[in-house]
Amino acid sequence: MVTPFRPDGEVDLELAARLADHLVRHGSDGLVLCGTTGESPTLSWEEQHRLFDAVKEAVVGRAQLLAGSGSNCTAEAVEATREAARLGADGALVVVPYYNKPPQDGLEAHFRAVADAAPELPLMLYNIPGRTGCSLTADTVARLLDRPNVVSFKAASGTTEEVSQLRLLCGDRLAIYCGDDALTLPMLAVGAVGVVSVASHLAGPEIQAMVQAFLGGDMTGALALHERLLPLGKALFCTTNPIPVKAALEIAGWPVGAPRLPLLPADSDVRQRLHSVMAALRPT
């Protein structure tokens, strides 16, 4: 979920609560707060905690809430994951440490420390090498499954091969979620169970219908929805996320504000592309 900002740059908790309610009523089974799309790098931990409380109050009992608790500092990730458990999160999204590029044994030690910090809290490991500079291998993930709260994985490497390797080594012990809207159907075909979606801000019911069609064996219906949704999935990543999705929400009537620096608002070319794609998605 995006983090809405007021014109003065502060987090808009009231709008965040309304947006969360809208997403849950329009196809989302759960919400990830303060992930990449939520601009976690430019939010203070205090802001993240207040945002979580506001959203939890808005959707309690109707959706699973995952809190982004990753960091490139293990001690910080440990403390953030403990705080997510204290706040009542249903799980935590823990990204691969970024910038310092630890080797696999360092990544394994990092995630073990986080898992052990809150053993009652389910964890979704988050691999996005395009942003972090290193990749968590399937071998390392398989070793981490000795921690019972390591239960899911967000696959955002941009390849279906990642899902296949995880399935070969981890089987049904690990729930794999697509981390790239455009690849949702291909990843479902090789063993993913759902998607952590950006496009759901604009097309939640259609994405839910595509997943349900696939899981129900309606491959023709799933493919038709995939092809209809593909231009939106591509447009929302035509420049750095969440620049396009915030612009798209503004176009759709949600004044979520511009991203925080160093990200800038969408330029006119991006906005025009979004206008065209969104108009094509509207029912005729």
The CATH fold of domain 13-218: TIM Barrel (3.20.20)
Active site residues: 126, 154
| Residue 267 CB partners (closer than 8 Å, separation 6+) | none
Q: Which pLDDT belongs to residue 1?
A: 98
Q: How far apart are CA 149 and CA 99, in angstroms?
A: 26
Burial 221-243 (b: 16+ CB within 10 A, else e): ebeebbeebbbbbebbbebebbb
Within 61-199, where are the H helices? 74-87, 104-117, 129-132, 138-144, 160-170, 184-189
* pLDDT attached to residue 284: 53
Q: Which residues pair with 125 in a beta bridge?
A: 94, 153
Residue 244 near residue 237 (C-beta atoms within 8 A)? yes
The torsion region of residue 101 among left (phi > 0), alpha (psi -120 to 50) and beta comes to left
Three-class DSSP category at 33: strand
Letter for the amino acid at 240?
T
Find, among 233, 221, 237, 162, the residue nearest to 192 by Cα: 162
Walk along the chain (284 residues) in steps of 10 and give the mean pLDDT of each run: 97 98 97 97 96 97 97 97 97 97 98 98 97 97 98 97 98 97 98 98 97 97 98 97 98 97 97 96 74
